[in-house]
Structure 1
Amino acid sequence: MDRRKFIKSVGVAGTVGTAAMAAPAIAKGREKLTMVTAWGRGLAGVFDAAVHFADSVNAMSDGTLEIDVKANGELVSGLSAVFDSVTSGQADMYHAADYYYVGQHPAFAYFTAVPFGMTPNELHNWYYHQDGHKFHLELGEEFGLHSFLCGNTGPQAGGWFRKEIKSAADFNGLKFRMPGLGGKALGKLGASVQTLPGSEVYQALASGAIDGTEWIGPWADEKAGFQEITKFYYTSGFHEPGAGLAVGINKDRFNGLSKAHQKMIEIAAGEANLWNLHQYLANNSEALTRLQAAGVKTLEFPDDVWDAFGKASIEVLDSNMEDPLFKKIRESVEKSMKASAAWDRLSSGVYGAQRSRVLG
């Protein structure tokens, strides 16, 4: 069955009301695009990326192309409704982490992050100078989307826990929030994995509905307030070494725009991608210092836990290899990642170690 036709036929689940979804605005050469998002209004970093992108488009177009940003819950509610509203044509575009939509196709994970996957530099090498964007568009064809990377959280933390993790067995029965294929890997360790929107995570952790959560990294996690609930913080995770965010635009709507407006969207997405990555990186270290001063205990997973993460992650990736597109994308990613890492290890890796040794 054609997934695009199916989505259009069933409509949008979880919407606030289709009456609230305005038809595309086109008047006297001016365009208005409604962008729904996976984020609560003001959610640190992720919502910032959506607003920064929209502001850039609005400025470049001198008012001829306006992007109206809607937080999650304002026009549609829930993660799946964000995707469905755009593929069905009831909204023009979304801003989200594409791995929220692995239920639609597992290859969406590669445009956010997969366990033991790419760092931000490796992702950008692949996306902008190899096959990455081509594959993003090919995947979008199936759903009527035209997509661009539009944000990156940088390396994500392993997460917040109510108690220390001393072995892989400690994940058995643990109620933990982790989306994407990383969450499926944790499920293989016996965890009860949940995917929650960012705006719901604090309350779920505070109430005991979940035992732990990953979110992003020190700056965003501090803003979310998780240190008020638990003090065990694992600073390196296996699941998202450089998590990309994306804009997905209804393809028919995108194709109906002028070439100039299309290019403005592309440029603004790329600029927001860089801006957002360094927003996180510029703020994380100082935030970590504040968290530690507030009594947060920063930890690393033991090697045997990392080994368990690796085994489970490979099983998850291997389980999707019957899908031809997933297979092509995985092979492309791993070839690119290996090549990028080879030079990075011999250049920046050596330099970083020597700088620390010389300067302390």
Structure 2
Amino acid sequence: MDRRSFLRNSTIGAGAAAGAAALAAPAYAQGNRTLTMVTTWGRGLAGVHDSAQHVADSITAMTDGTLTVDLKAAGELVGAFEVFDAVTSGQADMYHGADYYFVGQHPGYAFFTSVPFGMTAQELANWYYHMGGHELHDELGQIFGLKSFLGGNTGAQAGGWFSKEINGPEDFQGLKFRMPGLGGEALGKMGASVQNIPGAEVYQALSSGAIDGTEWIGPWADEKAGFQEITKTYYTAGFHEPGAGLSVAVNRDVFDELSPAHQKIVEIASAEGHQWNLAQFLSENGAALERLQSAGVTLREFPDAVWSAMGAASQETLDQYMDDELFARIRESYNDSLRKSSEWIQKSEGTYRVQRDAYLNRG
């Protein structure tokens, strides 16, 4: 018997028939409800805080205020990396964040943000909504008493900002670099001293020299964070997050108490927030990249030898968790979906884009 069933049955058994009847009445029938959402994002962080606020506002609007979401940014109730425990313990009702921050709870959570050399945003959506990803996210959440959904996406993230040019894999030796998730673990295998720092604290760490470089998101969010004020060396393509999903997770007891209509609204608001946020990032990045270049930022790409080293380190990182049965099943499902999605996308959209860009450049 699970924890919720035990508590429910114990309460009913101890009460009188009238008490049992009252308990059986849905909690949502007793009036309006406010849910506290905690986030891994500092208030005002471009794109990611917007995503959380958009989901919160959508839930409130679609329920006509009968279900109100009160958003608490990182540090306003709990710290950025404390939101998982806050929701599982019942201190807060739900969180919005990047699930790869919680690989310490289970390494399988990485797949629902991004893994190195993993899925683009479209490939992630294909897997999540049509090829078993959501069901596996739900299975993982059940272990911790969570009901989880995708609730945002940054699109492909940049390789990051560096205090020096990267000419080969050896340049990562001893490099103090901010990168969360399994991508960070892979860089560690390449010799980097990897730091996991909340987004709101990255600028100070970079400007003070506490770190030698950082990835954050992409041109728009990076420009808003002000990293171009500190260094002008920017790698535009990264191996670590080719389509980073953001998650909404609700305490499962809280979710079970909601009406079916309210449950569906949380699900729909999260899904719409995923697409809205992806479009937000992609619509802003191009112009922001031009502004960064105008501000003297030099755009670079990692050499092939660095990409090869990143690939080998990524494979080693993922392989080390394969003795966990759930991780292995998630990875198998993820890779199967990736193969099937990417083949068609490459043959159709990939070929088209090459030809379109060539035509436009000729014109």
- Per the shorter chain, which TM-score range? over 0.9
CA spacing shift, 1:226–1:271, aligned 2, 3 Å = same
1:250-275 deviation digits (Å, cap 9, x = unpaired) = 00110010001001000100000000
SS at match of 1:116: coil
TM, length-normalised to structure 1: 0.92
User: In the alignment, is the contact (CA less than 8 A) between 2:153 and 2:274 conserved in 1?
Assistant: yes
User: In the alignment, is the contact (CA less than 8 A) between 1:160 and 1:212 conserved in 2?
Assistant: yes
- Structure 1 unaligned spans of 5+: 5-24
User: In the alignment, is the contact (CA less than 8 A) between 1:151 and 1:245 conserved in 2?
Assistant: yes
Confirm or deny that 1:65 pairs with 2:67: yes
CA spacing shift, 1:3–1:309, aligned 2, 3 Å = farther
User: In the alignment, is the contact (CA less than 8 A) between 2:157 and 2:216 conserved in 1?
Assistant: yes
Confirm or deny that 1:187 pairs with 2:195: no
User: In the alignment, is the contact (CA less than 8 A) between 2:28 and 2:258 conserved in 1?
Assistant: no
Counterpart Cα distance in 2 of 1:3 and 1:251: 11
1:178-211 deviation digits (Å, cap 9, x = unpaired) = 0000000000011000111100000000000000
Aligned to 2:47: 45
Counterpart Cα distance in 2 of 1:73 and 1:261: 28
Aligned to 1:315: 316
Counterpart Cα distance in 2 of 1:146 and 1:207: 39
The structural deviation recorded for 1:29 is 2.1
Larger Rg: 2
1:10-69 deviation digits (Å, cap 9, x = unpaired) = xxxxxxxxxxxxxxx978421110000001111100000000001111111011000000
User: In the alignment, is the contact (CA less than 8 A) between 1:202 and 1:226 conserved in 2?
Assistant: yes
Q: Which amino acid aligns with 1:56?
A: S
The structural deviation recorded for 1:288 is 0.2
Equivalent positions of 1:140-219 (< 5 A) are 140-219=141-220
Counterpart Cα distance in 2 of 1:65 and 1:320: 39
Aligned to 1:29: 31
Q: Which amino acid aligns with 2:120?
A: T
Q: Which amino acid aligns with 2:102?
A: Y
Counterpart Cα distance in 2 of 1:231 and 1:191: 21
User: In the alignment, is the contact (CA less than 8 A) between 2:28 and 2:259 conserved in 1?
Assistant: no
Counterpart Cα distance in 1 of 2:258 and 2:30: 13
SS at match of 2:95: strand
Confirm or deny that 1:270 pairs with 2:271: yes
Counterpart Cα distance in 1 of 2:276 and 2:334: 24
Aligned to 1:94: 95
User: In the alignment, is the contact (CA less than 8 A) between 1:113 and 1:242 conserved in 2?
Assistant: yes
Q: Which amino acid aligns with 2:293?
A: Q
Equivalent positions of 1:224-239 (< 5 A) are 224-239=225-240
Counterpart Cα distance in 2 of 1:127 and 1:26: 29
Confirm or deny that 1:247 pairs with 2:234: no
Q: Which stretches of structure 1, 4 residues or longer, exceed 6 Å deviation after superposition?
A: none
In the alignment of these two chains, the number of paired residues is 338
The structural deviation recorded for 1:149 is 0.2
Aligned to 1:9: none
User: In the alignment, is the contact (CA less than 8 A) between 2:28 and 2:257 conserved in 1?
Assistant: no
Q: Which amino acid aligns with 2:160?
A: G
The structural deviation recorded for 1:359 is 1.3
The structural deviation recorded for 1:166 is 0.2
The structural deviation recorded for 1:357 is 1.2
- Structure 2 unaligned spans of 5+: 5-26
Equivalent positions of 1:75-114 (< 5 A) are 75-79=77-81, 81-114=82-115
Counterpart Cα distance in 1 of 2:177 and 2:163: 11
Q: Which amino acid aligns with 1:244?
A: G
Counterpart Cα distance in 2 of 1:255 and 1:3: 13
User: In the alignment, is the contact (CA less than 8 A) between 1:26 and 1:32 conserved in 2?
Assistant: no
Aligned to 2:135: 134
SS at match of 1:32: strand
Counterpart Cα distance in 1 of 2:47 and 2:53: 10
Aligned to 1:301: 302
Q: Which amino acid aligns with 1:37?
A: T
Q: Which amino acid aligns with 1:63?
A: G
SS at match of 1:142: helix
User: In the alignment, is the contact (CA less than 8 A) between 2:117 and 2:239 conserved in 1?
Assistant: yes
Counterpart Cα distance in 2 of 1:64 and 1:3: 28
Aligned to 1:343: 344
